[in-house]
């Protein structure tokens, strides 16, 4: 009979676990160790209740959610992910959050962002959480080589090319940089910056003559780009070690450079092409899995994260800007002040062309990015014929869009039915 007390203790322990369970916050954001720690300490600690912040790579994140969707008792309470990631899930994985809209409706979240959160359906599948975008950064050493008459805050792609050539002529090394490595986001540069700037489109004009001219221009720009770019993930690293002087990347991936040596770098808007200055804001959202163990606790955490105070704390932790209307305090780190200014200049530029992240593609969004990366690798790295490559890729692009049924998104004009590739 000596076993009874042990068994009782075990039962008591097991029985009490659910009541004491932490809130599991599963997220594809703030993944680097340091950032995750800041997320826990700065953004989540003041919440009071214990939150278990679990950052995860997007692929694993999606696989796990898809695998667990059938189980009645999920283990995850709150999900954080980019618009494209949450949008690629089967809609039924995410619980509708329309009930939260009554309390969140008046916080100044952009209507456009809120409608993105419906993922093309009727119900609110995620709440816009935070936003960021891509900008340019340059070492101050590069500034003397700016072509004559060029305004850093209103650069064109021709001027960027001239700048890169000047730097190479002076230093003997190509010093432009793009995040074209496996972990890099060059597909966003192609989809949200290059294509819109040259064709005012991303899907419809995929193989137009404007697009051909664009690829020719990018080949020239690539000739003065550090060839190590195909290994770069986060441009802050090559900027800090001097491999690259002028770079394009996501604000969160330039953060270290601005914070570690704010006096050595400048942030500025992306260049403009013949069709304008394409730029792409990134929206991350908060969602609740349909099988969350305690839906009320999940909603409470989301409400906390959407308060202006928590949004500023999240900004400090992740460098993602608030989506609710709020005043930014003065004591923010250098990276936020610097990129904040560039982001504002970029989005308020007269020739700005707003491009949204691909939406409605669901499971096809990975393939969509592959089309643009393939075009880049074939045309720019492997020197394949531009027309031929685009003609091979265009039907594949059309096929995946047809399969997902996604209509056109900005900057493409709206379509009836799936977005057509001309």
Distance of CA 199 to the CA centre of its chain: 22
Provide the minimum distance between the beta carbon of 70 and other proteins in the complex, in angstroms, as a whole number: 16
Beta bridge partners of 267: 137
Provide the minimum distance between the beta carbon of 228 and other proteins in the complex, in angstroms, as a whole number: 5
For other proteins, the binding residues (CB under 8 A) are 57, 59-60, 62-63, 88, 180-182, 226-228, 230-231, 241, 243, 363, 365-367, 369-370, 374, 377-378, 381, 403
Q: Tokens 């990018």 — which residue?
A: 218
Q: Tokens 């490559």 — which residue?
A: 389
Provide the minimum distance between the beta carbon of 128 and other proteins in the complex, in angstroms, as a whole number: 23
Alpha helices in 31-134 (DSSP H): 33-38, 58-68, 83-87, 101-104, 111-116
3-state secondary structure of 176: strand
> Strand locations in 140-231, DSSP E?
176-177
CA gyration radius, the chain: 23
Residue 156 has phi, psi (to 5 degrees) of -110, 165
Rounded CA gap, 297 and 253, in Å? 32
Q: Residue 194: which of 252, 270, 131, 268 has the closest Cα?
A: 270
In this complex, which beta carbon is closest to other proteins, that of residue 156 or of residue 230? 230
Provide the minimum distance between the beta carbon of 290 and other proteins in the complex, in angstroms, as a whole number: 20
Rounded CA gap, 215 and 209, in Å? 10
Q: Which region holds residue 35: left if phi is over 0, alpha if psi is between -120 and 50, else beta?
A: alpha
In this complex, which beta carbon is closest to other proteins, that of residue 312 or of residue 379? 379
Provide the minimum distance between the beta carbon of 199 and other proteins in the complex, in angstroms, as a whole number: 22
Q: Is the separation of the CB atoms in 285 and 128 below 8 Å?
A: yes
Query: How large is the angle between the packed helices 386-404 and 365-376, nearest 10 degrees?
Result: 180
In this complex, which beta carbon is closest to other proteins, that of residue 226 or of residue 355? 226
In this complex, which beta carbon is closest to other proteins, that of residue 43 or of residue 224? 224
The gap between the terminal CA atoms of the chain, to the nearest Å, is 80
In this complex, which beta carbon is closest to other proteins, that of residue 316 or of residue 363? 363
Show the tokens assigned to 194.
Answer: 């290059």
Provide the minimum distance between the beta carbon of 369 and other proteins in the complex, in angstroms, as a whole number: 8
Provide the minimum distance between the beta carbon of 367 and other proteins in the complex, in angstroms, as a whole number: 5
3-state secondary structure of 277: strand
Provide the minimum distance between the beta carbon of 181 and other proteins in the complex, in angstroms, as a whole number: 5
In this complex, which beta carbon is closest to other proteins, that of residue 340 or of residue 362? 362
Q: Residue 224: which of 197, 239, 250, 244 has the closest Cα?
A: 244
Provide the minimum distance between the beta carbon of 182 and other proteins in the complex, in angstroms, as a whole number: 5
Q: Residue 369: which of 126, 237, 195 has the closest Cα?
A: 195
Q: Residue 305: which of 129, 68, 62, 90 has the closest Cα?
A: 129
In this complex, which beta carbon is closest to other proteins, that of residue 18 or of residue 227? 227
In this complex, which beta carbon is closest to other proteins, that of residue 98 or of residue 388? 388
Provide the minimum distance between the beta carbon of 47 and other proteins in the complex, in angstroms, as a whole number: 32
Provide the minimum distance between the beta carbon of 362 and other proteins in the complex, in angstroms, as a whole number: 9
Beta bridge partners of 79: 26, 287
In this complex, which beta carbon is closest to other proteins, that of residue 210 or of residue 243? 243
Rounded CA gap, 322 and 50, in Å? 23
In this complex, which beta carbon is closest to other proteins, that of residue 59 or of residue 108? 59
In this complex, which beta carbon is closest to other proteins, that of residue 105 or of residue 242? 242
123: enclosing H helix or E strand: none
């Amino acid at each position: 009979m000596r076993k009874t007390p042990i068994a009782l203790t075990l039962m008591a322990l097991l029985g009490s676990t659910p009541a004491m369970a932490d809130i599991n916050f599963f997220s594809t954001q703030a993944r680097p160790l340091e950032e995750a720690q800041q997320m826990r300490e700065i953004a989540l600690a003041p919440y009071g209740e214990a939150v278990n912040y679990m950052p995860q790579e997007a692929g694993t994140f999606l696989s796990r959610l898809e695998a667990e969707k059938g189980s009645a008792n999920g283990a995850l309470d709150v999900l954080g992910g980019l618009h494209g990631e949450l949008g690629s899930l089967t809609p039924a994985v995410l619980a509708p959050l329309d009930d939260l809209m009554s309390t969140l409706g008046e916080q100044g979240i952009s209507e456009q962002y809120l409608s993105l959160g419906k993922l093309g359906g009727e119900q609110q599948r995620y709440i816009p959480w935070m936003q960021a975008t891509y900008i340019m950064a340059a070492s101050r050493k590069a500034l003397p080589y700016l072509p004559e008459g060029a305004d850093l805050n209103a650069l064109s792609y021709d001027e960027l090319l001239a700048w890169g050539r000047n730097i190479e002529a002076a230093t003997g090394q190509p010093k432009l940089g793009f995040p074209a490595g496996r972990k890099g986001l060059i597909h966003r540069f192609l989809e949200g910056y290059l294509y819109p700037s040259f064709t005012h489109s991303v899907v419809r004009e995929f193989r137009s003559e404007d697009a051909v001219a664009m690829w020719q221009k990018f080949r020239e720009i690539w000739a003065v780009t550090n060839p190590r770019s195909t290994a770069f993930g986060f441009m802050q690293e090559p900027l800090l070690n001097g491999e690259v002087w002028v770079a394009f990347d996501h604000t969160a991936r330039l953060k270290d450079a601005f914070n570690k040596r704010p006096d050595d770098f400048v942030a500025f808007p992306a260049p403009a092409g013949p069709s304008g200055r394409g730029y792409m804001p990134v929206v991350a959202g908060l969602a609740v899995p349909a099988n969350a163990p305690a839906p009320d606790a999940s909603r409470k955490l989301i409400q906390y994260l959407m308060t202006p105070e928590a949004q500023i704390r999240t900004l400090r932790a992740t460098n993602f800007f608030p989506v609710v209307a709020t005043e930014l305090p003065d004591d923010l780190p250098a990276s936020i002040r610097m990129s904040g200014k560039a982001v504002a200049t970029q989005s308020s530029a007269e020739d700005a062309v707003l491009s949204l992240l691909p939406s409605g593609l669901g499971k096809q969004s990975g393939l969509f990015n592959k089309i643009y990366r393939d075009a880049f690798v074939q045309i720019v790295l492997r020197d394949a014929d531009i027309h031929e490559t685009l003609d091979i890729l265009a039907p594949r692009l059309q096929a995946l869009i047809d399969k997902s049924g996604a209509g056109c998104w900005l900057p493409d004009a709206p379509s009836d039915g799936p977005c057509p590739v001309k």
